[in-house]
Amino acid sequence: MAERVVLAYSGGLDTSVAIGWIGEETGAEVVAVAVDLGQGGEDMETIRRRALACGAVEAVVADARDEFADGYCLPALQANALYMDRYPLVSALSRPVIVRHLAKAAKEFGATTVAHGCTGKGNDQVRFEVGLGALVPDLKVVAPARDFAWTREKAIAYAEARDLPIDVTKRSPFSIDQNVWGRAVETGFLEDLWNAPTEDVYAYTEDPAGHFGSPDELVITFDRGVPVAIDGETVTMLEAIQQLNRRAGAHGVGRLDMVEDRLVGIKSREVYEAPGAIALITAHQELENVTIERDLARFKRQVEQRWGELVYDGLWFSPLKEALDAFLARSQERVSGEIRLRLHGGAAVVTGRRSDESLYDFNLATYDEGDTFDQSLAKGFVQLWGLPSKIAAKRDQKG
């Protein structure tokens, strides 16, 4: 029996060409694995048939939409994960899901090698290979675009010479990756930092400057950090993201244009749109402000940053990330309640909060009638709190 290679298959030019190329160069049979993460676009069955038509001996399509939402997007929401305080890890979250399905297929089909279509400039090569190394360390990895300088021009010529069933005439000026958590766009004229994105860059969001309709106000209910209802209607995590993608996207929420520090050491201009992710994170952060004690909240913000960096850097399966997961899970035990959001003009704005787990005490906070805060205690507290600084200042002023 010939050796088998499991290929992470997207259905596009590069991975379609890779099927035949790997077979010709190595003599191995290729098993194509496509993972549905709610990316939309082409029908997954069409993608499966294309893989077979391009020479794959087997083609697997995995519906991982709920798995992705529950096992990857939800932890990111509970971590309020925003790399560089802005990017909600759209692509970074999807790679470990794909890695799990590649590892599963490799075991099922007896493959000795896994292949992917990443280049040597990006983060995804790290995410795929480090993840595979953690799950199936004995597998070999091949990356034709990186390891054999497989350019787009070579791929087009290869496809045309072999009459592969893919359209190579319509070339998008952009490189696009998308899933239900969001959409990432790069390359083309966006590589010039002075160029503003044009409207054809976007697909998940409407132009907020051109939207003059009424705001959309909604209420998100959380139970232990999990969004469980919108406007009183029960939703799964996947349904919550999908509904907010539509409603927040209609108001231009979630557009990001940033210069990002890649893991490989270069800066890259990236345009993202993640309406559902940004709306959910905005609501979740505010509910935490109401329900999480001050010192826990302060430390959690440090954990959030490190968690996001680990995921961005391809270390989803690392011991540190797993340990931080345990901390984050514990932090969510009291994060229950409702947040009212207003979606309009490109922004998701919190307009109301309520929770049975609230640490906000009206009678302590008010300056009006009914104030129960004992202000007589404050003078001594201030003196003791500032005592170390006062002593140090006296010492320093002697010189």
Instruction: Using the CB atoms, write b or e for 364-378: b if 16+ within 10 Å.
Output: eeeeeeeeeeeeeee
Three-state DSSP class for residue 376? helix
Point out the residues that are catalytic. Answer: 14, 95, 124, 175
Sign of the C-alpha dihedral computed for residues 123, 124, 129 and 135 taken in this order: positive
Cβ atoms within 10 Å, residue 159: 20
- Structural domains in the chain, sorted by start: 4-171 (3.40.50.620), 176-292+334-354 (3.90.1260.10)
Does the structure show a pLDDT above 80 at 167?
no
Does the structure show a pLDDT above 90 at 339?
yes
| DSSP code at position 181 | T
Q: Which of 16-25, 50-59, 186-195, 341-350 has the lowest mean pLDDT?
A: 16-25
User: Which positions make up the binding site for L-citrulline?
Assistant: 87, 123, 127, 175, 260, 272
User: Which positions make up the binding site for L-aspartate?
Assistant: 119, 123-124
d(CA 75, CA 117): 27
pLDDT-derived band at 168 (thresholds 50, 70, 90) equals low
Structural contact between residues 253 and 346, judged by C-beta atoms closer than 8 angstroms: yes
- Tens of pLDDT, residue by residue over 297-327, are 999 999 999 999 999 999 999 999 999 999 9
Instruction: Using the CB atoms, write b or e for 46-84: b if 16+ within 10 Å.
Output: ebbebbeebbbbbbbbbebbebbbeebbbbbbbbbbbbe
d(CA 138, CA 179): 29
Cβ atoms within 10 Å, residue 397: 7
pLDDT-derived band at 149 (thresholds 50, 70, 90) equals confident
What is the reported pLDDT for 229? 98
- What is the mean pLDDT of the segment spanning 115-124? 89
Does the structure show a pLDDT above 60 at 393?
yes
Residue type, 106: A
Residues, the chain: 399
User: Which positions make up the binding site?
Assistant: 8-16, 87, 117, 119, 123-124, 127, 175, 260, 272
pLDDT-derived band at 146 (thresholds 50, 70, 90) equals confident
Residue type, 15: T
- What is the mean pLDDT of the segment spanning 233-249? 98
Q: Which of 68-82, 156-170, 217-231, 323-337 has the lowest mean pLDDT?
A: 156-170
> Which are the contacts of 124, defined by CB distance < 8 A and separation ≥ 6?
91, 95, 116, 118
- Tens of pLDDT, residue by residue over 278-289, are 999 999 999 999
- Tens of pLDDT, residue by residue over 45-70, are 999 999 999 999 999 999 999 999 99
User: Which positions make up the binding site for ATP?
Assistant: 8-16, 117
Does the structure show a pLDDT above 60 at 348?
yes
**Average predicted confidence (pLDDT) for the chain:** 93
- Tens of pLDDT, residue by residue over 89-112, are 999 999 999 999 999 999 999 999
Does the structure show a pLDDT above 60 at 370?
yes
d(CA 246, CA 204): 8
pLDDT-derived band at 271 (thresholds 50, 70, 90) equals very high
Percent of the chain with pLDDT strictly greater than 90: 77
